[in-house]
Amino acid sequence: MANITKKVSWSSRADELGAAGEGTPLLNGSEQSRAFREVRLLQWLTVSMPAVSSLCCRTESFLDYDNIENQLFLEEERRMSHMSFRCLEISRWVICGLIGILTGLIACCIDIIVEKLAGFKYQVVKENIEKFTEVGGLSVSLLLWAVLNSAIVMLGALMVSFIEPVAAGSGIPQIKCYLNGVKVPRVVRLKTLMVKVFGVICSVVGGLAVGKEGPMIHSGSVVAAGVSQGRSTSLKKDFKIFEYFRRDTEKRDFVSAGAAAGVSAAFGAPVGKNTTTHKFFASMISTFTLNFFLSIYHNNPGDLSNPGLINFGRFENDSVAYYLYEIPLFIAMGAIGGLLGALFNYLNYWLTIFRIRYVHRPYLQVMEAMLVAAVTATVSFTMIYFSTDCQPLDPEHSEEYPLQLFCADGEYNSMATAFFNTPERSVRSLFHNQPGTYNPLTLGLFTLTYFFLACWTYGLAVSAGVFIPSLLIGAAWGRLCGILLATTTDNGSIWADPGKYALIGAAAQLGGIVRMTLSLTVIMVEATGNVTYGLPIMLVLMTAKIVGDYFVEGLYDVHIKLQSVPFLHWEAPATSHWLTAREVMSSPVTCLSRIEKVGTIVDILSNTSTNHNGFPVVVQVTGNEEPAKLCGLILRSQLIVLLKHKVFVELARSRLTQRKLLLKDFRDAYPRFPPIQSIHVSQDERECMMDLTEFMNATPYTVPQDTSLPRVFKLFRALGLRHLVVVDDENRVIGLVTRKDLARYHMGKHGLEELHLAQT
């Protein structure tokens, strides 16, 4: 997440970070907001800071989810028969199927490799510990463990830092931005996928406090972006298929299906606000593929009864699941989750700022990752070493690697089940182990240490998710709550199941950190195979969100905001009706004439200070910025293709045989349009004219200047717009609303606030 590359940002980093926190309370300016105080500190922190982050880029920063309906497009659509549309529809299903299969396979590979390698590592360390427990000198074991972890993590961190920094973290914020319409550079490339898969294996095997689930969502998205385009630019291989889908609108839909397939592979649950049949299909296929190959791997071919990657085991309640009077307790736990989550996010926020400031060179990032790996091993070892919580070794115990250590024969160290294990297994133990398996002190210490370890880990230059660590922290203190309740009340029997409280605690903690409600409910219900806990889990998640939101945003949003990405939420801020298009729009607008001089176009595109991406086309540009009648809208990318193919009026006249530009030419250039600097235009050519009529979108959406902000916002979000032309009552262009103009406004504690987003 916090990778620093050496690109130039939208703005100098100082502005960016300063701006992220700076809220100018528009409605209630009486008190100095807390955010404002932070800003001072941030500005101090960020003086002369190296620019940029993994979420930003300079050119073509946004995606256009509104179809470019120009003449070429309409002609193609009109030529297409009923049959062609059927074929397209079939292609969509095929692509979704492929996405599902590949995503499932990737999940399967990750799962098997992690299991093998982690098993091998734990076996080696366990044997070593057992050897030295008898003869003394356990520090050798600690060293072995720490070095092993550091070495493995180093591999992953090297890949991420030096090869593809955008593969760091879970990738969820990046995909969230992508689907929102912000183009994160290189986020859906093949190389990113490779690094991600390798990186996540290293992080999990390296014993970091991370999960492998979040990255699956990113992986699924990359797969989708690749498959749906029918080519790989990295491999320079074009299969000449699915060419119709080479535009932002279609690609977005597939990426969204890929993300769903990733979620499904990870959690066995198809979730999402806007589930379509295509997405659902991709999800189903992905779970199916994963299960199918895992069943073969487990020598039980054809048995398809396992859900996704994580499976916390089914909560079976033949009798009573929970009582009505437990609900207030659950809600209280939700509040604790919200508080702890807010603390987590707050600490991580500061840590990220620190990282941006001081740990921005790749080699430093690798060293930090190795340090964290070593510290994690050391802390774990110390905790296990000093723990006196011995439990009898159940013949049918679920521990894979029980550590006897200083326990009596036939007993094992309970702290080790939490630390000396992959986090998934630890969660499962906390949910399902018999009451009495853990003593309260073990759980308390574990919660404390793991909380800080996980917080430190998130944001390292390694591929890793935060879901499982959050669940683990929550499960630990949740189980602790359950045990304390059972001991402090007279009627201990009804609190008999601390596993139930572990589940609620896990939900509360995860909700407190990532602040989702709907999707998490589905995921938790799915991962536990029991719909009975649906309502309590939802209540807990909602409480955690409300409590947490009071202090600080969700972890993903914190990171998105730190990058000052112009992220658009679903709805306009509530109190923004008094703003109109006239006030939010950018003005004056650079307009082009329908038939424009090549030189003018080149100059406009080369102007790095404005760097606009969409240009209203007007009947005739008048001098001195008088508004002129709108007749279309054209994008930078289209102009670039036109310039590249030298579609000039004069040339068309002289060379009569010149091939007419086809939609295919635009599709071939998509999505990596060359920069304007790479296109050579001679001095003679600068005097030529370009006729934009055929290429511009002749019917762009427009709004009158008095339109209220929520109305503009609704249009933007509902249609996935990138530019919205503001016209006066004679249809003359007087402004252009872009995504940034809208993303500036957001609800703060004291009403509407205006952020100073970095300029394009």
Q: Closest Cα to residue 370, out of 156, 197, 144?
A: 156
Q: Which residues, 6 or more positions from 107, have their beta carbon under 8 angstroms from its beta carbon?
A: 216, 219, 262, 265, 266, 286, 290, 308, 309
In the complex with a copy of itself, the residue whose CB is nearer, 517 or 563, is 517
DSSP 159: I
In the complex with a copy of itself, the residue whose CB is nearer, 158 or 742, is 742
The nearest distance, CB 682 to a copy of itself, in angstroms, is 36
State the DSSP string of 54-103.
TT--SSS-B---S----HHHHHHHHH--HHHHHHHHHHHHHHHHHHHHHH
The nearest distance, CB 100 to a copy of itself, in angstroms, is 10
Indicate left, alpha or beta for 252 from its phi (over 0: left) and psi (-120 to 50: alpha).
Answer: alpha
State the DSSP string of 421-470.
S-HHHHHHHHHHSPTTSS-HHHHHHHHHHHHHHHHHHTTSSSB-BSHHHH
The nearest distance, CB 71 to a copy of itself, in angstroms, is 10
The nearest distance, CB 23 to a copy of itself, in angstroms, is 13
In the complex with a copy of itself, the residue whose CB is nearer, 126 or 432, is 432
- Specify the DSSP element, H or E, that contains 256: helix 248-267
In the complex with a copy of itself, the residue whose CB is nearer, 506 or 527, is 527
The nearest distance, CB 269 to a copy of itself, in angstroms, is 8
Q: Closest Cα to residue 315, out of 533, 537, 539?
A: 533
Burial class (CB in 10 A: 0-12, 13-18, 19+), 299: exposed
In the complex with a copy of itself, the residue whose CB is nearer, 88 or 194, is 88
In the complex with a copy of itself, the residue whose CB is nearer, 100 or 207, is 100
In the complex with a copy of itself, the residue whose CB is nearer, 534 or 675, is 534
The nearest distance, CB 187 to a copy of itself, in angstroms, is 26
In the complex with a copy of itself, the residue whose CB is nearer, 64 or 389, is 64
The nearest distance, CB 535 to a copy of itself, in angstroms, is 5
In the complex with a copy of itself, the residue whose CB is nearer, 135 or 324, is 324
CA distances from 77 to 80, 249, 510, 719 (A): 5, 15, 47, 20
Indicate left, alpha or beta for 747 from its phi (over 0: left) and psi (-120 to 50: alpha).
Answer: beta
The nearest distance, CB 377 to a copy of itself, in angstroms, is 37
State the DSSP string of 526-594.
HHHT-GGGHHHHHHHHHHHHHHHHHHS--HHHHHHHHTT-----SS--TT-TT-BHHHHSB-S---EES
State the DSSP string of 597-636.
EHHHHHHHHH-TTT--SEEEEESS--STT---BEEEEEEH
Q: Closest Cα to residue 68, out of 604, 723, 757?
A: 723
Q: Measured between alpha carbons, how far is 236 from 240 in angstroms, rounded to an integer?
A: 12
The nearest distance, CB 518 to a copy of itself, in angstroms, is 5
Query: Beta strands of 705-750 (E only): which ranges?
Result: 723-727, 733-738, 745-748
The nearest distance, CB 737 to a copy of itself, in angstroms, is 13
The nearest distance, CB 432 to a copy of itself, in angstroms, is 16
In the complex with a copy of itself, the residue whose CB is nearer, 301 or 410, is 301
In the complex with a copy of itself, the residue whose CB is nearer, 69 or 691, is 69
Residues 507 and 540: beta-carbon distance below 8 Å? yes
